[in-house]
Amino acid sequence: MAREATTTTDRLCLPLISDGLYAIETHAGGTSQCLVKWAEAQKVFPERYNWGGAAAATGTVEEAADLCGNGEVPICGVCNWGGETAKANIKKGLKAAWMFRRLDKSADYLILSNADGQGYRCLGFRSEGAPYPELVRWDGKKWTNKAYKNPDQVSKADWEMCGMQTVAKLKENGAVVWNVKALGCSNEDFCATRTSDLFLLRSKKDASSKCLHFKDHDSSRYSHPERDSEETGPWCNIAGIDPTIPAADYANEAAYEAKYEEPKGICATTFGTSCEAALIEKKAAVFKLISLS
């Protein structure tokens, strides 16, 4: 919310994430890393990366990755360099610059990248069984990860819609639609104030919105993010604050466990634990969106 209502003016609400370029930062591995898409054709899937920060800083490599020599705060190890700010360097490098485009008045977005300079394509899942998200576009019949042959001839209206004709068709298909869920909101309807600057990125490829996450929670430490394959409950699959379960059923943990299935998936939490607190503590599925404007 940008402005509360007064006796003479209406409340002014603005989206938390305006259309524009952002770095997508994760601390899933303990160090600040950005979601990147490399330009090399063989590197199909995005991954996380830190550019190293202050190489001459004292301490461990991990500590140096989150420091800059002059005391500035880096973005995923990128410092001011060559007379340019960290934000400007990330924008110029393209690899970690993601365009967020809001589809309607909801929190549904497209996330696009022009990392290889071959035209903006959308982050999404090319097929139902795709393990990781890719940069894709609609070719009229199917989703393809092929770059445009002549990107300079592709109209803005076309690439802004990932090759589809309408927002309705994009949302019906869901392959490239992301629900950007703000954490720490004091009010679900308009988020007047926040206690966190983190977000969930939830794929709407199928009926159940699934969290994008890194698999550090099971010690596999995959470089590529994937979507939660076991989420079956509400948005964070919570045992303790699911609004569809009567409050009386939370009075006794043993009784709860006897009546309800244990929640599963990266977005699951334990009994009685705050949903958002558990997600933030786990780190695997929460992201900071850093505006590059």
Is 244 part of any domain? no
User: What is the DSSP-derived secondary structure letter of residue 267?
Assistant: T
Of 70-74, 201-205, 279-283, which gets the smallest average pLDDT? 70-74
Is 148 part of any domain? yes
Q: How large is the average pLDDT for residues 61-90?
A: 82
Strands 33-36 and 108-113: unpaired
Residue 16 pLDDT = 87
Model pLDDT for residues 177-203, shown as the tens digit of each residue: 999 989 888 766 677 788 899 999 989
Q: Other CB atoms closer than 10 Å to residue 256's CB: what's the count?
A: 17
Is 186 part of any domain? yes
Is 34's pLDDT higher than 70?
Answer: yes
Q: How large is the average pLDDT for residues 220-228?
A: 77
CA 40-112-279 angle, 5° bins = 100
Of 46-50, 209-213, 233-237, which gets the smallest average pLDDT? 233-237
Q: Which residue has the higher pLDDT, 244 or 183?
A: 183
Q: How many CA atoms lie within 13 A of 271 on its CB side?
A: 14
In angstroms, the CA 111 to CA 35 distance is 12
Is 52 part of any domain? yes
**pTM for this entry:** 0.83
In angstroms, the CA 77 to CA 29 distance is 14
Of 34-38, 48-52, 105-109, 278-282, which gets the smallest average pLDDT? 278-282
Of 24-33, 59-68, 262-271, which gets the smallest average pLDDT? 262-271
Mean pLDDT of the chain: 81
Is 238's pLDDT higher than 50?
Answer: no
126: nearest Cα among 227, 201, 199, 200: 227
What total number of domains does the chain contain?
1
pLDDT band for 246, please (50, 70, 90 cuts). low
Is 175 part of any domain? yes
Domain encompassing residue 158: 20-231+277-291
CATH for 194: 2.80.10.50
47: nearest Cα among 33, 59, 58: 33
Is 13's pLDDT higher than 80?
Answer: no
In angstroms, the CA 129 to CA 229 distance is 10
Is 258 part of any domain? no
Contact assessment for residue 220 and residue 187, using Cβ atoms and an 8 Å cutoff? no
Is 13 part of any domain? no
In angstroms, the CA 113 to CA 124 distance is 11
Max CA pair span of the chain: 63
Is 224 part of any domain? yes
Is 146's pLDDT higher than 50?
Answer: yes
